[in-house]
Structure 1
Amino acid sequence: MSHAAPHPGHRPGTPGYRRLNVAMLMAGVAAFGMLYSTQPLLPRIGAAFDVSPAAAALTVSGATGALAVAVVVATSVAARLGRARVMRATMLAAVAVQLLSTTMPTFGGLLALRVLLGLLLAGVVGVAMGHVGAEVHPDGLGRAMGLYVAGNSLGGVGGRLVTAAVADLGSWRVADAALGVCALAATVAFVLLLPPSVHGEDETGPRPHPGVRAWLRPQVLALVAVPFLLMGGFVAVYNYLTYRLVEPPFELSSAVVGLVFLAYLAGTVSSALAGAAADRFGRPRTMALSLAVMAAGLALTLPDHLAPVVGGLVLLTAGFFAAHAVASGWLPLVAGPLGGRASGAYVTSYYAGSSVLGAVVGLAWSDGGWPAVAAAVGATVLATAGCVAVVVRAERVR
């Protein structure tokens, strides 16, 4: 009678588990800080290079688009060369490119380096989930993935706040370079703290390619669809709420509207809590609660009064990052032979949702204003709940 070998991953409470968690938190802070660092600087970049707002926005969308395209390649390279090695190398290279981009004398040069930045960050963002899933024991996987997602949200809001604050003291170049220095500090911590792979030599080398049937399992397809739906709806809320708040009856200044990104801090807390809750109470229950919080927050944004709108945005953000953390930690458990490739597909789906639904929901805004946007985003939350039901049913059958 054969016995399965014990899982070699880091267990909660061990030094390796703590080091890995802090290292991946730093990775999220650095990567997402750099990815979105130019967003608050778009007006200044546009004025400095005399380009339109749409052109200036390419410094953000060019980086995120390049990341989404490069994820599949990044996961394949990491499978052959080693995840830890690829993440360390690409993160250090990304910091160098980010700092170099602040010296570009032409807009074309800046844009080219922002695209290169996105390509390099695919070696971190596209590989990180698979690395955590492979290195952590299932008993602590939810908490570890929650902390990584917390780093993502912290980096996203931190990058925006650092560049926005420093920009008032100097040019956009000084502001973006200051963010680069912060990213460098986080990257050094990541490189030094990331422990060696628990799989040793098994982390590298050619891997057998999973068959089509591994991809066509309902639970895999449903979990890969979740980030597309969640991120698409979430980005749409932030995109079109900005337009709503500068129009009557709110008529807020652009500077005040920019403070809405502080709501991301709710996601920093909720993602860490949701990861721990998933380990303790189960992923289906935690996911259901997260989606309910999202729906409640969305409903609160409907009245034309600022207090409930802000409160609703905080709730929606908390629910989104909690659901994202749970789904991120769930996928490695159901992916089976897909391994890091499934995590790469998750990341691609995440950014595809941002691009596709973030734009498509604009049609709802043009035709029906905020109530139509809320209805469209509510439909994505409901569809996500359906995907969760598919995963639960398929796993029970298995």
Structure 2
Amino acid sequence: MPYIKKGTKAFRKTTLAMFFGGFNTFAIMYSTQPLLPEFSHEFHISPAVASLSLSLTTIALAISMLFVGSLSEVKGRKPLMNFSLISASILAILTSFVPNYHVLLLFRILQGIVLAGLPAVAMAYLSEEIEPADLGVAMGLYVSGISVGGMSGRIIIGMLTDFFNWRVALGTVGVLSILASLLFWYLLPPSEHFQPRPLDIGNLTKSMVNQLKDPSLLCLYGIAFFVLGSFVTLYNYIGYQLIAPPYSLSQTLVGFIFVIYIVGTFSSTWMGRRADMHGRNKMLKIGLLIMAFGACLTLITPLVIKILGIALFTFGFFGSHSIASSWVGRQAIHDKAQASSLYLFFYYAGSSSGGTIGGTFWQTLGWGGVISMILSFLLCALLLSIRLNYISPFNQHTKTTLTLQKANC
């Protein structure tokens, strides 16, 4: 069967479905992020403890993805993604009825487990079905859905929390997510290049070990850890700063800070195209440097400059993630689902670690401490991208040679 090419009806349906899938997943996942100050106040907990409502979700998702990717090799890509989106939406509605913070954390862990179905499988689906030359654009549109979902979910949460309460806000996001799930199910074409395989724990373990032996993939996994760790840390604690003097913004206005996510919708696609034309590594470094510059701007007191810094930081993040995630699909010749699962494991492990550790920096050193931690993470990511520049060409040549040798056997 031919691959899905840009400009065709199938390409439009696929990318639109992935857009809705990304919207659903990340509207739910990050729905509690703008509520951290609200949780601190209502449940009398510290910012670091409040951040567990997000960190536990992402670490549960990270662990679950190690197995969900392999399960999709048996059950198929689309059915697993459908189940993930519908079940997560139902859990999101149920979360609005929890009696206390401990039960809320339990439901958030369950959400993390079932949410793994889309991000663990989406990259593998796109890598299998999309024409390789158009993969960067397709992945960019998927990441755009992530940015819109994250943005709109937070804005809705902020507004409804101000006018009603956080329970109404979370329930509303759950209902909207069910609608997005149904659109995903309707639009996404069935897999044409997927080859089902029986579940083999031994081969699964061997496959993951082999992926971890690939130095290029290891660098990409490390970059994923540090990039999302930086991003989540900034957005976790910017709300605490903005609701306090000298800004004293309302929950609604803090929620509208996430309108900045719209730049991610543009940057993920734009940077994906530029990476296809000018080289992935070059554009990845540019994305990381933009993030660092934006983070530094948030240290300046005037609100307009601070918002500009957040916008640049967000632009760099979504561009970097779009490039790195599509790179994994190209780098892994075999067992793409496992390679994608490992990438996302490190990605969300970075979110969990950075998001909670950042609370300690905020409590002890203030916003300057948070930015220092973010810059340290970005420096590590930049060093890995420099290392990747040296090992990737040789490693890709080796893989191509081995593939040709196997084909001739």
Give the TM-score range, shorter chain.
0.7 to 0.9
Q: What's the TM-score once normalised by structure 2's chain length?
A: 0.85
- For the 8 Å contact 2:30–2:150, the answer to whether it is kept is yes
- For the 8 Å contact 1:83–1:203, the answer to whether it is kept is no
| Structure 1 SS opposite 2:181 | helix
2:112 partner amino acid: G
> What do the CA deviations read for 1:250-283 (whole angstroms, capped 9, x no partner)?
3433434443322222212211211222223221
Matched, 1:51 2:43: yes
Report the counterpart of residue 270 of structure 1 in structure 2.
267
Q: What's the TM-score once normalised by structure 1's chain length?
A: 0.88
RMSD: 2.6
Matched positions, count: 388
Structure 2 distance, partners of 1:336, 1:138, is 12
1:350 partner amino acid: Y
Once the 2 structures are TM-superposed, how far is the Cα of residue 247 of structure 1 from its aligned partner?
Answer: 5.3
Report the counterpart of residue 68 of structure 1 in structure 2.
62
Matched, 1:238 2:232: no
Once the 2 structures are TM-superposed, how far is the Cα of residue 319 of structure 1 from its aligned partner?
Answer: 0.5
Report the counterpart of residue 253 of structure 1 in structure 2.
249
Report the counterpart of residue 306 of structure 1 in structure 2.
303
- For the 8 Å contact 1:71–1:348, the answer to whether it is kept is yes
Structure 2 distance, partners of 1:95, 1:338, is 29
Paired residue for 1:215, among 212, 218, 227?
212
Report the counterpart of residue 357 of structure 2 in structure 1.
360
Once the 2 structures are TM-superposed, how far is the Cα of residue 372 of structure 1 from its aligned partner?
Answer: 4.3
Matched, 1:351 2:348: yes
Matched, 1:142 2:136: yes
Structure 2 distance, partners of 1:365, 1:57, is 12
Distance verdict in 2 for CA 1:332–1:183, change over 3 Å: same
2:222 partner amino acid: A
Report the counterpart of residue 195 of structure 1 in structure 2.
189
Q: In the TM superposition, what are the counterparts of 1:45-124 in structure 2 within 5 Å?
A: 51-53=43-45, 58-104=52-98, 109-124=103-118
Matched, 1:321 2:311: no
| Structure 2 SS opposite 1:302 | coil
2:376 partner amino acid: A
Task: Give the unaligned 5+ runs of structure 1.
Answer: 1-6
Once the 2 structures are TM-superposed, how far is the Cα of residue 242 of structure 1 from its aligned partner?
Answer: 3.7
Give identity over the alignment, percent. 35
| Structure 1 SS opposite 2:334 | helix
Indicate the larger mover: 262-271 or 219-228. 262-271
- For the 8 Å contact 1:67–1:118, the answer to whether it is kept is yes
Report the counterpart of residue 277 of structure 2 in structure 1.
280
Distance verdict in 2 for CA 1:354–1:220, change over 3 Å: same
Distance verdict in 2 for CA 1:69–1:172, change over 3 Å: same
> What do the CA deviations read for 1:2-32 (whole angstroms, capped 9, x no partner)?
xxxxx94322122222211111110010111
Report the counterpart of residue 33 of structure 1 in structure 2.
27
1:32 partner amino acid: F
Structure 2 distance, partners of 1:374, 1:109, is 32
Once the 2 structures are TM-superposed, how far is the Cα of residue 110 of structure 1 from its aligned partner?
Answer: 4.2
1:230 partner amino acid: V
Task: Give the unaligned 5+ runs of structure 2.
Answer: 398-409
Matched, 1:162 2:156: yes
Report the counterpart of residue 224 of structure 2 in structure 1.
227
> What do the CA deviations read for 1:319-365 (whole angstroms, capped 9, x no partner)?
01110111011111112224111111111111111222333345555
- For the 8 Å contact 1:82–1:204, the answer to whether it is kept is no
Structure 1 distance, partners of 2:208, 2:302, is 53
Distance verdict in 2 for CA 1:367–1:115, change over 3 Å: closer
Report the counterpart of residue 3 of structure 1 in structure 2.
none
- For the 8 Å contact 1:227–1:346, the answer to whether it is kept is yes
